[in-house]
């Protein structure tokens, strides 16, 4: 049985991985605090060695984008130091290491979609910590695969989709930023893609040749404003309130951390290498919203 070591426990991608791995019948172990502090190199190496995984996936991260502006050291410790510890442990075990990164490594000034070898230039502390993580991972483990994703949402945890549905219950009108563009990415789609990559690597005796950076994001792009409208349209199918959405500019919604105006990621390399392309973002929004109503997070069967 394939054994998957997942670093991270409560995050959206970690939760999606736990569900997806279990559904495929793999043996999985999710390690998060307090059981495992990835900033402790010795503890990480011991945990990986004890579990004897076939693949290690790092879904652990410091993701408080605005808070990172005032606590960059904490972000660096997890996103760079912790990631390097996991990469080194996987390298020592001789197994594939899959690491999740972000669109925030770019400054968002490019006109089209970013490809993997575009120059990086993070505009904030979170992006700097994630870029440092990419560099630390490759230094510790030249065989690693890094997957940049963007605008992650799911049926678990805190995210844009759930926030919009909650606001729809309280407000008749909402202003949503319309001058930032990216690829909404459903955590369940990320999990499925990562497991498909892992399966392909395990079937390839020369899997180390696939090392490097890949972009892993929903197919198609949109603005936050139109993303919100799609969420409300999906919720309306379940009788959920639909507020009037007004387009606003980034300047109208100031935040401590600067968000990239363009977070579009080109998934061509992932498709060419592994024949994996994520679903259209519009379809995944419907799937996620349907899940939220089915599990009672919203609607008449609300928990």
Q: How far is it, in rounded angstroms, from Cα 157 to Cα 32?
A: 15
* Residue 234 domain flag: no
Which sign does the torsion angle of CA 267, 250, 259, 287 carry? negative
- The answer to whether the beta carbons of residues 264 and 113 sit under 8 Å apart is yes
Q: Encode pLDDT of 238-297 as tens digits.
A: 999 999 999 999 999 899 999 999 999 999 999 999 999 999 999 999 999 999 999 999
**Could you give the angle at the alpha carbon of 82 between the alpha carbons of 214 and 64, nearest 5°?**
80
For residue 79, give its domain range: 3-155+184-219+264-279
Mean local confidence (pLDDT), 93-113: 97
Domain containing 37 — which CATH number? Answer: 3.40.50.720
* Residue 129 domain flag: yes
Catalytic: which of 62, 114, 126, 153? Answer: 126
**Could you give the number of structural domains in the chain?**
1
* Residue 191 domain flag: yes
* Residue 33 domain flag: yes
* Residue 224 domain flag: no
Task: Determine if the pTM surpasses 0.85.
Answer: yes
* Residue 102 domain flag: yes
The pLDDT of residue 185: 98
Active site residue 253: no
């Amino acid at each position: 049985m394939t054994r998957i070591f997942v670093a991270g426990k409560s995050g959206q991608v970690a939760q999606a991985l736990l569900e997806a791995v279990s559904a495929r019948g793999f043996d999985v172990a999710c390690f998060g605090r307090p059981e495992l502090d990835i900033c402790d190199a010795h503890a990480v190496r011991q945990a990986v060695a004890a579990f004897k995984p076939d693949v290690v996936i790092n879904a652990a991260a410091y993701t408080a984008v605005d808070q990172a502006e005032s606590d960059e050291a904490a972000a660096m410790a997890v996103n760079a130091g912790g990631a390097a510890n996991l990469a080194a442990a996987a390298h020592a075990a001789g197994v594939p290491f899959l690491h999740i990164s972000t669109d925030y490594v770019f400054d968002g000034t490019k006109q089209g979609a970013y490809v993997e070898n575009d120059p990086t230039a993070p505009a904030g502390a979170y992006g700097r910590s994630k870029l440092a993580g990419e560099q630390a991972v490759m230094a510790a483990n030249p065989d690693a695969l890094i997957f940049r994703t963007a605008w992650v949402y799911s049926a678990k945890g805190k995210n844009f989709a759930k926030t919009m549905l909650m606001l729809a219950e309280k407000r008749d009108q909402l202003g949503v930023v319309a001058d930032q563009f990216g690829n909404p990415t459903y955590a369940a789609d990320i999990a499925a893609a990562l497991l498909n990559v892992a399966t392909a690597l395990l079937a390839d005796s020369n899997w180390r040749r696939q090392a490097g950076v890949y972009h892993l994001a929903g197919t198609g792009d949109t603005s936050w404003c139109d993303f919100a409208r799609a969420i409300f349209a999906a919720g309306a199918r379940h009788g959920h309130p639909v507020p009037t959405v007004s387009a606003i500019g980034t300047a109208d919604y100031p935040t401590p951390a600067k968000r990239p105006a363009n977070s579009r990621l080109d998934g061509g390399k992932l498709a060419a290498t592994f024949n994996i392309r994520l679903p259209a973002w519009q379809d995944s929004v419907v799937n996620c919203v349907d899940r939220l109503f089915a599990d009672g997070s919203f609607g008449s069967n609300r928990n």
